[in-house]
Amino acid sequence: MFTTNPFDSSADDGDKLREECGVFGIWGADTAAAVTALGLHALQHRGQEAAGITSYDGAGFHSHRAMGHVADAFNKDSVIRALAGRAAIGHVRYSTTGETALRNVQPLFAELSSGGFAVAHNGNISNAMRVRRELNARGSIFQSTSDTEVIIHLVATSTYRGLLDRLIDALKQVEGAYSLVCLTDEGLIACRDPLGIRPLVMGRLGDAYIFASETVALDVVGATYLRTVEPGELVIASEDGVRSLRPFQAQIARPCIFEHVYFSRPDSIVDGSSVYTVRKAIGAELARENPVEADYVVPVPDSGVPAAIGYAQESGIPFELGIIRSHYVGRTFIQPSDQVRHLGVKLKHNANSALIRGKRLILVDDSIVRGTTSLKIVQMLREAGAREVHMRIASPPTMHSCFYGVDTPERKKLLAAQMNVAEMNQYIRADSLAFISIDGLYRALGESKRETAQPQYCDACFSGDYPTRLTDQDDVEQRGQLIPIERVA
């Protein structure tokens, strides 16, 4: 219910793209479940609706899954003790595909002919509905509405013999984004889709191996960061040590660029780059591309803070906290109406009027999604006496939906899909509005520019250039109507 992470603004804002899930797995530690709970707590910003852990003790699998935050789901010794064993995987979830219900909370588990199989998934399978229909036609009965269950059924029905070969066979049939940690009685399997859309890293804690969505989860449990799990790589940790496989046709990776802009915690390393450093570099690019005279650079807390620091350092305009955020506000995203969202923004942000009265402000935020937050904050700063408010956005206009495991409003609710920049500026009632260019964003990531023929990242929510087929989406468009996944079952 309450957000205490000072960098976590995702938990209580209805006007953000929302990261979908975080995964964590450990093989070879006596306290596997407790370490997993701590790791999931560090990944809480990636999903606040539900959390779960499945452990394996050499004889059987144990699971605990619950709605709500990690600290609530795993706050009892008895729960952790019941998750016996030296191996565990865990998941935090924000609903992407499938309704929000306990049956969709991961890890998902199935007793297969080849042994127990638990899976925790970050990402979204973009042909899940098509595959599910085919599996249904062959007699598969689904327990959940989650796209992840498709992987379990493909593993179950594979004609290959060993579990690892069955998993590889299953993954070759799915499209989209997946960073997975899978627990079997023979080992822990971590893998990342061939484009590496969602992140996954590997670390070491004593003799144990750990896999996690972000390095911050390694830091928090005292583990050492070893490396990124490479796109298209499967890493298997077992009693025999660690081995790596690359069973997929090699492709040029296209990791999600928005992890750097917003989703990942600033104290994480994503694909070798410090998120904090990249966000400051984005702010510096933004200042070079879109300068304006002002008295202060003010971040929208907390998501705009690193980019605002970069903007201030590059422009020489002082960085000031012109907006103070309460960290004790309940999550507004569970309240659906736009009217209540507006109220929520007022509850959690307050203008520092003594500082900003009569001043010209550069207001920095990471993105504009619906525009409701920007509108409210600009209005709040004006009411507190700001003379000018110039909004600067640390990402290009968000014009397209994400089909890779990020919760995006329907396209018609994305402000940038409906208006040009001048119209958006009018809508949010700022004195000026500017976004970083897509090449500027790539420069902040150390590239000279976006390679149009072969982009270095997935940037589809800005460019509309999706790196995979969107089979389910194409099916929906061909039919001209959405078929709910429940009706497919």
| CA 489 from centroid of its chain's CA atoms | 27
CB of 94 to ligand SF4, least distance (A): 13
Quote the distance between the C-alpha of residue 431 and its chain's center: 32
Does residue 406 bind ligand SF4 (CB under 6 A)? Answer: yes
- Taking every pair of Cα atoms in the chain, the longest distance, rounded to a whole number of angstroms, is 72
271: left (phi over 0), alpha (psi -120 to 50) or beta: left
Q: Which stretch binds ligand SF4 (CB under 6 A): 58-66, 329-337, 401-409, 471-479?
A: 401-409
Token match 């004790």: residue?
Answer: 328
Determine which helix (DSSP H) or strand (DSSP E) holds 121, and give its type and residue range. Answer: strand 115-125
Give Rg (Cα) of the chain.
22
Tell me how far, at minimum, the Cβ of 393 lies from ligand SF4, in Å. 15
Binding segment (CB under 6 A) for ligand SF4, from list 254-262, 309-317, 386-394, 410-418: 254-262
Instruction: Identify which of residues 125 and 406 has a Cβ nearer to ligand SF4 in the complex.
Output: 406
CB nearer to ligand SF4: give 431 or 472. Answer: 472
| 3 state SS of 219 | helix
Cross-strand pairs, 202: 211, 227
* Cβ closest to ligand SF4, residue 208 vs residue 406: 406
Site for ligand SF4 in 257-276 (CB under 6 A): 257-258
Please tell me the distance from the alpha carbon of residue 417 to that of residue 168, in angstroms, as a whole number: 38
Size, binding site for ligand SF4 by CB under 6 A: 11
Task: State in angstroms the smallest separation of the CB of 133 from ligand SF4.
Answer: 24
Candidates 54-62, 230-238, 250-258, 445-453: pick the segment binding ligand SF4 (CB under 6 A): 250-258
CB of 261 to ligand SF4, least distance (A): 9
Is residue 253 at the binding interface for ligand SF4, with CB under 6 A as the rule? no
Rule CB under 6 A: which of 180-199 touch ligand SF4? 197
Contact flags string 314-333 toward ligand SF4, x per CB under 6 A: --------------------
- Contacts of ligand SF4 in 449-478 (CB under 6 A): 458-461
Q: Is the dihedral of CA 108, 228, 438, 426 positive or negative?
A: positive
Q: Which is nearer to ligand SF4, 51 or 270 (CB)?
A: 270
CA distance 232 to 245: 9
Min dist. Cβ of residue 455 to ligand SF4 (A): 10
Tell me the two tokens of residue 51.
Answer: 């959390």
Give CA–CA dist 46/57, Å, rounded: 28
**Binding string to ligand SF4 for residues 360 to 399, with x set by CB under 6 A, is what?**
----------------------------------------
Residue of 21, 191, 458, 461 marked active site: 21
Q: Output 168 or 253, the one with its CB closest to ligand SF4.
A: 253
Q: Least distance in Å: CB of 459 to ligand SF4?
A: 5
Q: Is 109 helix (H, G, I), strand (E, B) or coil?
A: strand
Residue 404 makes contact with ligand SF4 by CB under 6 A: yes
Residue 261 in 3-state DSSP?
helix
DSSP-assigned states of every residue in 465-476:
--SS--HHHHHH
DSSP lists the bridge partners of residue 325 as 349
For residues 324 and 349, what is the distance between their CA atoms, to the nearest angstrom? 6
**Encoding tokens for residue 59?**
């004889």
Nearest distance, CB of residue 394 and ligand SF4, angstroms: 14
What is the rounded CA–CA span in Å between residue 33 and residue 18? 27
> CB under 6 A: which stretch of 64-72, 129-137, 252-260, 283-291 binds ligand SF4?
252-260
In the sheet that holds 388-393, the strands lie side by side as: 296-299, 360-365, 388-393, 432-435
Is 21 catalytic? The answer is yes
Q: Supply the minimum distance, in Å, between the C-beta of residue 121 and ligand SF4.
A: 15
- Which parts of this chain interact with ligand SF4 (CB under 6 A)? 197, 256-258, 402, 404, 406, 458-461
Residues with a catalytic annotation lie at 21
